[in-house]
Structure 1
Amino acid sequence: MSQPDVSDAAVQGGQGRTPGRRPRIWQQTTGRRAIWDDMEVHHRIPLEWAHLTPGSLNRLANLVGMKRPDHSQVSEAWRVWKVGLGGWQRSAADILRQAMAIDRQFASGMVFPK
């Protein structure tokens, strides 16, 4: 299956989000809608950190399928981390380290597109 065109000038600082983009990318790649498998499509690095990361956060490497309860837990882990920053700005390396820590913690609930 060919790779979908995900080169949109995505998300600058959380601006320009296109609702539904990630589920469409998932379906184009897997041939299935995530909802058919009782999943949601999760951004491994959240869109709010787009201004610190190169490229589109809608690229396949940043998207995983997750069951709703797992997805909620991951979103909460990011929220708690952000609150814990106390307003301090983080670097791209900090965001990547946090994404890797969350990936390790929740890896068993992540389904990567094939």
Structure 2
Amino acid sequence: MGSTRRSFTDEYKANAVSLVLDDGHTIAETARNIDVHEMTLGKWVKKERDAREGQREPDAPLTETERVELDRLREENKEVKAENAHLQMQVSFAKKVATWFAKEQQ
């Protein structure tokens, strides 16, 4: 007993991908709603994302999602730099203390 493979029109795929990329629905949610396997829809979405990235100019304005990610990364970078500066101060202090103890031992 063999299974039949379903086929989808390009228009159907484009509408499904649009629900994810343009309307903000998740792949899992959309796949359940249209009765398509998550992996199948995920492949369609990846293919369209790659195609959109290829068409986009390097100097094009950021999308809302990219802007949010950029802001999150900038904030994370600022926190990491502050932590790094604090750790460098601790290392510098530890070196001074070690030098002072070494001089006292002589």
Higher RCO (C-alpha 8 Å, min separation 6): 1
TM-score bracket for this pair, using the shorter chain length: under 0.3
Larger radius of gyration, structure 1 or 2? 2
TM-score, normalization by structure 1: 0.20
TM-score, normalization by structure 2: 0.21
Structure with greater proportional strand content: 1
